[in-house]
Amino acid sequence: MKLGSEIMIGRIRFSSNVLMAPLAGYTCFPFRLMAKRLGAGSAYTEMVSADALKYNDKATSKLLYTDEREKLKCVQLLGAIPTVFERAAKSELLERFDIIDINMGCPVPNVVKAGEGSALLEDIPRASRIIEACKRSGKVVSVKCRIGMNRSRIVIEEFARMCEASGADMITVHGRTRDMMYDGEPLYEYISLAKDVVHIPVFANGGIDSKEKAYEMMEKTGADGIMLARYGFENPLLFSELTGRGIQDTKYDLLKEQLEIAAECFDELYVLTYIKKLASYFMKKMPGTKQYKMDLYRCGSISELGNLLKEIFDKEVLD
């Protein structure tokens, strides 16, 4: 399948098969809007604890913030207990969301110790019950997973079959084992194996940092599409390149838009924290980055931050 093609996931049509992964601390509402405008077929919320939804606190509300501008709403849930997932999936807080993605790939130690994320690769019956529980909400359900815990415990063939049998509408396979964390070349052959053993769409994830890597991933795996992660945040214009949108925004254009949307939706502290993180990613490889970051983190108001961003990124355009 060609990158940028429309694709059906369950009963929902995605505008492209280039997706933005959920990233804790990054894929907030403004960023998801930007990713979709640039060509992403979908963009997921930051990772949300299924159990934490019952508290409906301010932190969770920010993670789930959305409005009518976000046409396709996708949430990612993390947890280990099927009944908790079912309650979350059917809750009022998730009523507006169209798709639930289940995190079965997070490799972070405290997540794995709690039996969540990658730990579910070693408890396939429990993983199956979680998928079935989410499907009882009537929503489209996807699963994001890794290929196994390590190279001697690769389970992706059995795991992919289980996901489909349990009702999942799509699988995203990160082509690394849990112990590889985020380093090393993805093991393309295992993403290909997952694609070969199921009939539902399989998306490939891991190490896609350029147009060339995206095409290589598609060619080596035969996947139905790709999911960008860290590099989608570092260079969102990659969505436009991969989908042929032809959007010519500068990094400053993107930051200015993000600042305006974030200021509409969130308090000043949240806006400052988010935009500083995003700008820091955008500054990578720019001359003078160290000084720019020092100036950036000294900003104490939205107006001050806006003026500094213009100064920094105007220089980049002139250079």
| Residues involved in catalysis | 106
Q: Could you tell me whether strands 99-104 and 140-146 are parallel, antiparallel, or unpaired per DSSP bridges?
A: parallel
C-alpha–C-alpha distance, residues 174 and 209, integer Å: 14
Yes or no: say if 271 and 279 are a contact pair by the CB < 8 Å rule: no
H helix intervals, the chain: 29-37, 58-63, 82-89, 109-113, 124-135, 156-165, 188-197, 211-221, 230-234, 237-243, 251-265, 268-282, 289-298, 302-318
Q: Find the DSSP H helices in 46-123.
A: 58-63, 82-89, 109-113
Please give the distance of CA 84 from its chain centroid, rounded to a whole number. 22
104 - beta bridge partners? 145
Q: Count Cβ atoms below 10 Å from residue 182 Cβ, excluding itself.
A: 11
Three-class secondary structure of residue 172 per DSSP: strand
Find out whether 104 and 74 touch, Cβ atoms under 8 Å.
Answer: no
| Residue 59: both structure tokens together | 């932190």
Cα–Cα distances in angstroms (integers) from residue 204 to residues 12, 59, 171, in the given order: 19, 30, 9
